[in-house]
Chain A
Amino acid sequence: QKEVEQDPGPLSVPEGAIVSLNCTYSNSAFQYFMWYRQYSRKGPELLMYTYSSGNKEDGRFTAQVDKSSKYISLFIRDSQPSDSATYLCATPYSSASKIIFGSGTRLSIRP
């Protein structure tokens, strides 16, 4: 079992829809969680990170962590074609160490 699991998709939604992207993790010791966006032929770009449980909002993006169920979510409101990319959830294995990534969900927003 991988330490961070993510549905690879692809996921296709119409412009303006609310998108929900999800990951699960296995190690209850994980504290920080990040979401990266990766456009085709580019490196991953950090979108946001959260600590422990709860919600964090940044513009149209909301990251949510539920530690009781080991579930991580990213919501995108008013989705735009420019949001079409692969979204990667990730967590540091420990402080100042390797980052573990999910396999990524490919998202396509239809105009």
Chain B
Amino acid sequence: GAGVSQSPRYKVAKRGQDVALRCDPISGHVSLFWYQQALGQGPEFLTYFQNEAQLDKSGLPSDRFFAERPEGSVSTLKIQRTQQEDSAVYLCASSSVDLNTEAFFGQGTRLTVV
């Protein structure tokens, strides 16, 4: 596809449930980012991949959060034992390796934990 694709667009999870969020980056983009955006706030960095290597996971808020990109393309963000404070929009972005100034974002997955 032409842009970054995320699925599902909306997810409602019961507290304690595990969820998996998917990101399909732009073809050929080696860098992939996950961000969390709370209501009324800017995106907050979670983790960064260059190809299949996870180079920075400093933004993951707890060990309940896990991300992978096993073949250097599609990425999955997994949240275990979801809590209400995990409710947010999860954004994925991709860019060429030397051009993180031109990162392109998907539409996000809105997660609501009830």
Chain A interface residues (CB < 8 Å from chain B): 6, 8, 32, 34, 36, 41-46, 49, 88, 90, 92, 95-104
Question: Contacts A43-B4, A44-B43, A104-B41 given: A96-B103 contact, CB under 8 Å?
Answer: no
B100 touches A103 (CB 8 A): no
Nearest CB in chain A: distance from B17 CB, A: 23
Contact among A42, A46, A95 for B102, CB-based, below 8 A: A46
Interface contact A8-B40, CB-CB below 8 Å: yes
Q: Is the CB of A43 within 8 A of B31?
A: no
Which B residues between 24 and 40 are near A, CB-CB below 8 angstroms?
31, 33, 35, 40
Distance in angstroms from A25 CB to nearest chain B CB is 13
In the bound complex, residues from chain B placing their C-beta under 8 Å from that of A41 are 107, 110
Contact pick for B104, options A8, A46, A96, A103, CB 8 Å: A46
In the bound complex, residues from chain A placing their C-beta under 8 Å from that of B41 are: 103-104
Write out the residue numbers on chain B whose beta carbons fall within 8 Å of the beta carbon of A104.
40-42
Residue A98 contacts which of B48, B91, B104, B105 (CB distance < 8 angstroms)? B48
Across the interface, which residues of A come within 8 angstroms of B48, CB to CB? Answer: 97-98
Cα-based distance from A8 to B50 in the complex (angstroms): 32
Report B-chain residues with C-beta under 8 Å of the C-beta of A96. Answer: 31, 50, 97-98, 100
In the complex, are the beta carbons of A32 and B59 less than 8 A apart?
no
Confirm or deny: B101 has a beta carbon within 8 angstroms of a beta carbon on chain A.
yes
